[in-house]
Amino acid sequence: MAEPFDPTRFVGRTNLLNKIESWADQPNPPRRLWSVVAPPGMGKSWLLAMARKRLRTTAGRIVFWADLSRNAVDPETNVPLPDLTSVAGQREWVKQIVAQAKALCGGVKDSSSSAANLDAILDQLVDDLCVLCQPMPAPILLVDGFEEVSDEVRADFEEKILRRFLGRGCTQLMIARRDEYALSNQFLRLNERREWLGGLRSQESIAQLQQRAAMLTPPPPSPNLAALMTSIPPYEWNHPHINSTLFQYATDRPGNKLDSNDLKACLEEIILPEKLAQPEFELLVILAHLGAASDSDTSPLDFWADLDLAKWTGRRPDDPDLVRLFLLGLVLPAPEKLAPARKVGDGIRELIRAWKNTVL
């Protein structure tokens, strides 16, 4: 998560959270694996953490949490979590979830401290959950940080952990991931339901900024949110991470006015949260060309085919810089189009257009 999870600052997503709870309550849902899919910064991790908080309110429900991120912490307690990229970390995680399951279902056998191999311990747990813990609500496994590891580590986690929970038992799984990091395991893909997490609606964005304004210490003069949210068209304040960044900039400026340097700094932070090196700045220039050209050259469409890339950037689709933008989640496939097409991510595209005259 870019920011530590704080349920008091969570806004919106009510319909999707209700759908998740309804799915979790079904004894035999059509799909036991859901993926919440969205570009970076749209709030996938916060949604997953809020879903966990709500799901745990059902008496007897076992909700496991797995995070593949480096230096991952529990979103509610901030306690460091085991490193799931290592065998030792996976073994510690299994030991913890066995203890968690046993606390709610005494019939679960605890073999996690034995010399048994990890696969055997997991098989025992999965079987016990479905045989000895009924008619309790179905266990849930929530997975975050899915794109934070290498393809090899992710494929190993899919095979060793996810496929075992999905294939042998009754556990329901939910993964937060970006669209470009699809599941590689065929069995998982065949049983996956995808839920797209879109941008915030206008009232949700206002609620997000109001909450942030209320938590500023010491409280500055209250920002004029109506003026702020119409100050940088065509950006619509629908991207949670961009909203947070721009709001912080605005509270530090006289009159809460954003300028072109603030928009550029926000885009740079999205591309690389650390201090930018010159090669990374080139990515920003390319992204700006794509975001602006898709407005002027294909108006009113926001999509382009690979053939357009050479016209706008002089680069082939397999150019390393363009591939990097795709891996960063800034350039996305456009499933809305019948022919293969791509687009700059929602929110980012409009922010680029607000800033484009300072770059192009």
Q: Which run of H or E residues covers position 133?
A: none
Dist. CA 192–CA 182, nearest whole Å:
10
Dist. CA 227–CA 256, nearest whole Å:
9
For 299, which DSSP code?
T
User: Averaged in consecutive runs of 10 residues, what is the pLDDT profile of the chain (360 residues)?
Assistant: 83 94 90 94 95 91 95 94 94 94 89 78 91 86 94 95 91 93 94 93 92 77 80 91 92 85 86 52 71 52 68 77 80 68 84 72
**pLDDT tens digits for range 64-85:** 999 999 899 999 999 999 999 9
Grouping H, G, I as helix, E, B as strand and the rest as coil, residue 201 is: coil
Dist. CA 318–CA 152, nearest whole Å:
21
Using CA atoms in the order 164, 169, 175, 179, what is the torsion angle rounded to 10 degrees?
70
Cis peptide leading into residue 234 (ω within 30°): yes
Grouping H, G, I as helix, E, B as strand and the rest as coil, residue 218 is: coil
**pLDDT tens digits for range 111-140:** 777 667 888 899 999 999 988 887 788 999
The beta-carbon contacts of 293-299 under 8 Å, at least 24 apart in sequence, are 294/343, 294/344, 294/349, 295/349, 295/353
Q: Which run of H or E residues covers position 173?
A: strand 172-177
* CATH architecture of the domain formed by 7-196: 3-Layer(aba) Sandwich (3.40)
Question: Do residues 66 and 93 touch, judged by C-beta distance below 8 A?
Answer: yes
Per-residue pLDDT at 158 = 96
Those residues whose C-beta lies under 8 Å from the C-beta of residue 62, and which sit 6 or more positions away, are 100, 101, 104, 105, 129, 133, 136, 139, 140
Give the count of beta carbons closer than 10 Å to the beta carbon of residue 152.
10
For 277, which DSSP code?
P
Sign of the Cα pseudo-torsion (246, 252, 257, 258, in order): negative
- 3-class SS shares of the chain: helix, strand, coil, % to 5: 50, 10, 40
Q: What is the largest CA-CA distance in the chain?
A: 65
Domain coordinates of the chain in residue numbers?
7-196, 202-358
For 8, which DSSP code?
G
Tokens 């986690």, located at residue:
157
Dist. CA 101–CA 171, nearest whole Å:
12
For residue 77, what are its two tokens?
A: 């307690």
Question: Do residues 141 and 174 touch, judged by C-beta distance below 8 A?
Answer: yes
Q: Which run of H or E residues covers position 333?
A: strand 331-333
